[in-house]
Structure 1
């Protein structure tokens, strides 16, 4: 079985952008100029994601396959992590997120023998003289393979979605207690989930992308109902949109909810670095614009900067690019192309965990 996963390799707050790199470090860049302003070192295996604190912009959470989640004070780049979160020594993390209230931190593990775990910590409580976060417990029954994406609801602190290579996407209400009670919705994407995004005007929809370019959009507004509504579903969504000039859509980078426009922005690309911006809704996919002349290899991560009205992208060519146009052109219906106004050549590539061959038994 092939397992590969993308994760949130970017996050930004105020004027700082954090980027996961292939040497297991995290680089801090000026969001305005993209210049390197700091580096965080300490992880000993691939970094699976970065998340800035919702409440304290100077704090950054990172997760790694080395079995640790760490909290850093970016005002002191070069110093050790101020807090380290661990669970069982056999756990290797491939996804994580922090709740909007910043009370709970959750990480998804790779499969351990025949089990996979969602691990929870209380961010506010510390042990061992403040160095280690307090472990709350684990969920162990809801997934049977690598948990590749974990996403807390942006507004509801107890609502959590998780996706795995077992093809299941689960929604939990953590306020209900134990795992059996907390699991309120299960959706099947019939493939390995690569990313999740809360979307919709009330953020009650889930967008799921899979590692084989599948796309699913579900309405999960009523978690206590068995009637989960599938708004859009395709095992391979690439043929759903026709690109002009014979352009090639070979993969999806990811999707994000544009709250100001109340639309889903989907980013795809070609293996030669060309990017395509798409509008995604229950009606299907619609081509917006292509971005050319920037990357020369596959793009692995992106972030829409709503404040600066720009798109940030990182790729296997080791480049970090910022694309921007006039504010009137940034809408999903923009008519003029975004242009790369600034770029920087990274010493290390924006990280993506590569596919590895696994031969592991599944639960019966």
Structure 2
């Protein structure tokens, strides 16, 4: 087992009682967060200094890196909200969005995906009037949806992801239990479906590789499915690898997400009772498995609060985490951080400190209730 040491932390000058939903890379040397005060914040990655703050949505839900806008070199970030809007922001910092898209009937957006190479932004909506929609825009024509799927899910769409190498292949997951894979070059919705997986209420799903799809349910049940070819004439598709409920085998209380990088995939698993977060390698050979002999542990994590999002910055060899304690934390391998160094903090007390009032206890209970809702 390896250990990561917390080298710095920041409360981002958030209002008291706030917590941070998500974290993602922005422009070089910086990253972005969204939080429960409906703000988008940009931070310097080396110092955690706050660079910019912007109000996003009424009920912000998602944050994604869009990438470089075609022909401009401009780095963009995408956000979405329960107000039914998707907005793109200049990652260098701006108080107003660069452009805006809107769902039909202002349906709340619960999931988001971006593909700069095809100028595409995709939103997955909450179920409204018996419809849960996957809507695709071309950002060059943001006022009009380029394509949408309204019959493929019958409950909230909680996950969206593009294939790692094929820009026309899109994956969606829903609380209806289904993971769908589409070929977006096909217009007819019935014909666009390449694969349908029935897993259980989807918390996260995506591509582990070009040929492997993972699905994680809201009750932490995890499986890996082979990506199938719709023209394959075999009567029975290949069997999935079923890991079951991950909480006992990984000694965790909840799963945050799957992290991908040049060194492979990791599953981020949290334990608030023991106040730790583990990054568990998910290796493909000889068959997909969790390598628990090579875990990276973040001792202390975010104290008794849940970690909401993890970002691995490979260039600086730093792991950034954010959580329901309202902190962002930076972590480095213990041998690089200097064992004697004290963690640098700003704008708040240590996140591991216990609640000091009944109000804090009530907020924590409310957060725990919200943990298993799609977000």
Aligned residues: 325
- Please name the residue that 1:232 is paired with: 241
What is the aligned partner in structure 2 of residue 70 from structure 1? 87
Match of 1:61 among 74, 78, 94: 78
2: CA distance, partners of 1:159 / 1:352: 35
Give me the whole-angstrom Cα distance separating, in 2, the residues matched to 1:114 and 1:27. 35
User: Which among 186, 195, 210 is matched to residue 196 of structure 2?
Assistant: 186
Is 1:166 the counterpart of 2:171 in the alignment? Answer: no
- Change over 3 Å in CA distance of 1:352–1:20 after alignment to 2: farther
Q: What is residue 142 of structure 1 aligned with on the other side?
A: 152
The TM-score normalised by the length of structure 1 is 0.80
Question: Residue by residue, what CA displacement relative to the aligned partner does 1:192-211 show, whole Å, maximum 9, x if unpaired?
Answer: 111123223xx332222211
- SS of the residue corresponding to residue 92 of structure 2 reads coil
**Partner residue, 2:135:** 119
Residues of 2 paired with 1:84 and 1:353: CA distance?
Answer: 32
Matched, 1:251 2:260: no
Contact 1:153 1:160 in 2 (8 A): yes
Q: 1:34 to 1:76 in 2, by over 3 A?
A: closer
Aligned to 2:300: 293
One of 199, 206, 217 as aligned partner of 2:213: 206
- Residues 130-166 of structure 1, C-alpha deviations (whole Å, 9 max, x = no match): xxx4321320111110000111123211110000001
The two structures have a TM-score, normalised by structure 2, of 0.78
Task: Describe the superposition over 1:246-278 as per-residue Cα deviations: whole angstroms up to 9, x where unpaired.
Answer: xx41111111222x22x3211101124410121
Cα deviation for residue 54 of structure 1 reads 4.1
Q: Please, which of 287, 311, 317 is the counterpart of residue 319 of structure 2?
A: 311
**Residue in structure 2 matched with residue 361 of structure 1 by the alignment:** none
Describe the SS at the equivalent of 1:175.
coil
Distance 2:175 2:106 in 1: 19
| 8 Å CA contact retained: 1:319, 1:344 | no
Structure of greater relative contact order (alpha carbons < 8 Å, 6+ residues apart):
2
Counterpart secondary structure, 1:196:
strand
In structure 2, C-alpha distance between the alignment counterparts of 1:47 and 1:28, rounded to whole Å? 17
CA distance in 1, matches of 2:77, 2:104: 23
Distance (Å, rounded) in 2 between the aligned partners of 1:75 and 1:62: 15
Structure 2 Cα separation of the partners of residues 149 and 123 of structure 1: 20
Worse-superposed segment, 67-76 or 216-225: 216-225
- Quote the residue 2:223 is aligned against: 216
Provide the alpha-carbon RMSD of the alignment. 3.1
1:278 aligned to which of 272, 277, 280: 280
Cα contact 1:311–1:323 (8 A) shared by 2 = yes
Partner of 1:3: none
Task: Tell me how far apart the structure 1 counterparts of residues 221 and 117 of structure 2 sit (CA, whole Å).
Answer: 32
Q: For residue 238 of structure 1, give the secondary structure of its aligned residue in structure 2.
A: coil
Per-residue deviation at 1:280? 1.9
1:326, CA displacement in angstroms?
Answer: 7.3
Are 2:24 and 1:11 equivalent residues in the alignment? yes
Equivalent residue, structure 2, for 1:84 = 100
1:108–1:341 CA distance, 2 compared to 1 (3 A): same
Runs of at least 5 residues in structure 2 that lack an aligned partner in the other structure? 1-19, 350-362
Aligned: 1:50 with 2:55: no
Shift of 1:231: 4.5
